[in-house]
Amino acid sequence: MNNKTLLTLLLAASVAATSLFPSQLLAAPAETAKAKKAKAATKGKKKPARKAVSAPVSDYYTGEFVNFNQWKEVQQFTDEMATKHGFTRSELETLMGNVRYLDSVVQLVKPAPPGKPKNWTVYSSRFIEPIRIAAGVRFWNENAETLARAEALYGVPAEILAGVIGVETIYGRDTGRFRVIDTLTTLAFAYPVAPNREARMAFFRGELEATLLYARQTGIDPQSLQGSFAGAVGLPQFMPSNILKYGVDFDGDGHIDLRNSTADAIGSVASFLVGHGWQREQPGQIVYPATVSPARAWERFADGSLEAKFRPEDLTAAGIVTTSTLPPDMLYGLVDLQNGSEPTEYWVGSNNFYTITQYNRSYFYAMSVVELGRSIRLARP
């Protein structure tokens, strides 16, 4: 594969992937009075027509035919699905006979070359830009009632929900053009050589299993699902296992459809964040600009951890100063956003900031969600 082809695939592929290790299934929270009021306001109103957002089934990256049914590991997987979930071997063999090997996704999951410095300014410019902000304003205006209902029910601010979907797919503009069944089968049984190869293959086998279960539950053809080069699906780019765990039928039509229902996408993002620790009682501001002292006693706090575990007084004692007073009785962490050869940008994040990193395990990602959501909120009339 030449560099031009690989670059084209990278640009076309969806940006995001969801949390790699989701926690247990979350029951929907009890409906609050605020949620009931928001829901009542929409009662009796005609639902807006659904907008198809996924690419046509014919418009996907095709791969190379490989007879996966001859692979010993695939045969073992087929046996497990038949024994564990009651699938018939003949239907699975027919399905696997149509699966394509995608060398392109094998190339895309390979780690980036070492030594390239991270650059927050360059990264954020891809997401906090006029086209995406304008699309976010339209999305918020068209789905204001649904966003308000999700915020009231789950406690996740509308701007965070809009930020996630905007960063993931530009509000459904780019949901991915890889057949999920091809992607997951390729990565489950032909993952590239890497130190964590076995763990990654096990992860993608689990996602392949979830895909087949989701397709059976919803009555769809698993070959019709399209997504990112990692197998993520729909407006919010959920991995199939997360659709099963956190997917919400938020439009009440009896189906969870993250490809075509903006309401289901909004409710499911909120459900995912609550399931990973979002706390509604915490303040709306979840990250605070900070400076660090030259003494560098603060360096032990810059450990790349994805959890808030330090008290405000601990941060202050180490020379970490925020531009505004941190709310007491909460835990925080130091967020360092590297800027290549330019000075690193420092912030202090609360629990809810770190919850966003469970969607994509990156400070850059979480900060892009926060900044895009804020920009959209400020740009709305």
Residues with catalytic roles:
168
Q: Are strands 64-65 and 332-339 parallel, antiparallel or unpaired?
A: unpaired
Please list the residues that pair with 238 across neighbouring strands.
233
User: For residue 49, which phi and psi values (nearest 5 degrees)?
Assistant: -60, 145
Please list the residues that pair with 322 across neighbouring strands.
290
Q: Are 58 and 65 in contact (CB under 8 A)?
A: no
- Both tokens of 258, joined, read 């993250």
Closest CA to 167 of 32, 327, 364, 378: 364
C-alpha distances in angstroms, 17 versus 184, 246, 326? 13, 15, 31
Q: Are 235 and 168 in contact (CB under 8 A)?
A: yes
